[in-house]
A and B are shown apart, each in its own frame.
Chain A
């Protein structure tokens, strides 16, 4: 399904952050990862911050130009089935987390380019992506 509008672009980001946040919250309570519980709580918190940030962008960065359509941008490459963080083992969790972060980074990077006519929105997406880049580094250290 194509993403054709300012609202659509940010709505998908919100959904993605909510899904990822729920996964990290469940991982934080998984005994397999008890040594890293704080880290996954922190990731979930980052998700919450990104959601707030995305919703603020959708509320505030609204100009006439938001009505100009976005072209050649599709949801499908960024759709990831929700992971069951409670019942995965350590390897599965780390593998799935990296996949999640990679798709979020790709979404924010490509989305920022697609909406570059609205610099504040583009910047907001880059900022959200920055948090996800930091996550991948921390995950690699586990």
Chain B
């Protein structure tokens, strides 16, 4: 059987890469190869940037309202192809179909938000800054921007950036994750129907060589990245060396605190999905469950009972509540962390290592896993596991909890379950992470609010989406005028 091969999209055409290295795309539920991708080269990036650069002049002169109309059309075509995109996503990434649908919806919400460009990218003016002199700040597009995106949200994450970049008048080069390129290929097939001018959006598949070519390219004005902290740091540094704007979102180690007064009956379902949704493979996933005071035993018992009920399997079945790890490498990594937890003396309350799914002997499954009596210095309490592993760190007071939150290497998200307004205020005021949930397990900002952490969870100044994103994709040109 011939496998489909993902192509690059450059200057409005589907083109083959001149690369020679081929990567397999695997369905993580079956372990079978379902397609292939040619790893692009610096030459592919050069072609894409050239097309984007040539398209820029005319595109920036296109009135913002006309550009916004293209974005409306993109929304329409995404709605029409919604289910197909979601199914493709589940097939190559493994997440359950409802999670895939939710992801596609979040992608479309960014498209919807970007349609407000005529308001959100407006500049401002002030008359008589000195007698007879007026001042205006115009937000101008800058040229070619690029996105480098991860495997865990192959549909949504590129669209945290792309629609805002192009509606602002820039042109774009996207590099999807080489592990899951089918979803964006499907999405770009939809874009192709919209009829954007050639070169406005381009996509180059590949890995390290494509990334480095993007980072070093002198005609790329800025880069948006989401992935691991190590890579985010590398990208931030390298973009700094070539004078680019950069927003680089890295890893996380999110703590979910539970106060003794928390309403467990109401909160538990969302708490469980915080840790096990997308099989823990998201930067907003709960990783450390931190009961405060005497609620710990009760919480662990109730949490364990719900975790045991989670049905692991193929994401395409609507009977499945948790899908596989996105790849073999991720499976091995998570299993390694479970071994590490045992080795360092944590109590393994629920062991997901030997997770068998009938009919799927080669899938990359790990079942829900819970460690109790984890201490803050253990590896599993410090490093990002990115899998369905809950680490219970028991705290005596809210001060201990906040100390735990603020001493992780990351500062992405933190949540607190409580009935006390005072505890909630103290937590949201003192916790360092930039995304905080109160009685919410996943503090995920929607498209109209900014997404991103601080500390080692984000490098750069302007976060993903929200109103601020228009600042990232525009330069404010100040014009000071006097007429005689």
Contact = CB atoms under 8 A, between A and B. Distances in A.
B318 A68 contact: no
A68 B270 CA distance: 6
A95 interface: no
Contacts of B83: 55, 59
B270 A5 contact: no
A8 B444 contact: no
B98 interface: yes
B309 A69 contact: yes
Interface in A51-65: 55, 58-60, 62-65
Interface in B436-484: 440-442, 444
Nearest to A65: B270
A4 B444 CA distance: 24
B98 A5 contact: yes
B79 interface: yes
Contact of B442 (A2, A64, A69): A64
Nearest to B103: A62
A63 B319 CA distance: 19
B102 interface: yes
A59 B97 CA distance: 12
Contacts of B97: 7
Contact of B105 (A5, A60, A65, A68): A60
Interface residues of A, number: 20
Nearest to A1: B319
Given A59-B82, A67-B277, A4 B270 contact: no
B269 A68 contact: yes
A39 interface: no
A23 interface: no
B318 A62 contact: no
A72 to B, nearest CB: 12
B269 A4 contact: no
A7 B311 contact: no
Interface in B79-98: 79, 82-83, 96-98
Contacts of A6: 98
B321 interface: yes
B444 A67 contact: no
Contacts of A55: 83
A13 to B, nearest CB: 12
Contacts of B318: 4-5, 7-8, 11
Interface in A1-35: 1-2, 4-8, 11
Nearest to B105: A62
Classify chain B: how many residues form its interface, as a range: 20 to 34
Contact of A62 (B101, B321, B441): B101
B178 interface: no
A88 interface: no
Given A59-B79, A60-B105, A67 B99 contact: yes
A58 B309 contact: no
Q: Is the interface of A mostly helix, strand, loop or mixed?
A: helix
A89 B442 CA distance: 56
B273 interface: yes
Contact of B311 (A4, A62, A64, A65): A4
A106 interface: no
A5 B321 contact: yes
B82 A62 contact: no
Given A64-B270, A65-B270, A4 B319 contact: yes
Contacts of B105: 59-60, 62
B82 A67 contact: no
Contact of B102 (A1, A64, A68): A64
A60 B105 CA distance: 7
B441 A64 contact: yes
A7 B101 contact: yes
Contacts of B441: 64
B319 A8 contact: yes
A55 B105 CA distance: 13
A66 interface: yes
A67 B311 contact: no
Contacts of A66: 98, 102
Interface string B309-336: 1010000001101000000000000000
Contacts of A68: 269-270, 272-273
Nearest to B274: A64
A18 B321 CA distance: 26
A5 B319 CA distance: 7
B418 to A, nearest CB: 19
Contacts of A69: 269, 309, 321
A94 B1 CA distance: 51
A64 B442 CA distance: 8
Contacts of B102: 62-64, 66-67
Q: Which 10 pairs between the two chains have the least Cβ-Cβ distance?
A: A8-B318, A68-B269, A62-B105, A7-B98, A67-B273, A62-B102, A7-B318, A59-B82, A67-B277, A64-B442
Interface of A: 1-2, 4-8, 11, 55, 58-60, 62-69
14 contacts: A2-B319, A4-B321, A5-B98, A7-B96, A11-B318, A59-B79, A62-B98, A64-B102, A64-B273, A64-B277, A64-B440, A65-B270, A67-B273, A69-B269
Given A7-B97, A59-B101, A64-B444, 15 more contacts: A4-B318, A5-B318, A5-B321, A7-B101, A7-B318, A55-B83, A58-B101, A62-B102, A64-B270, A64-B273, A64-B277, A67-B98, A67-B273, A68-B273, A69-B321
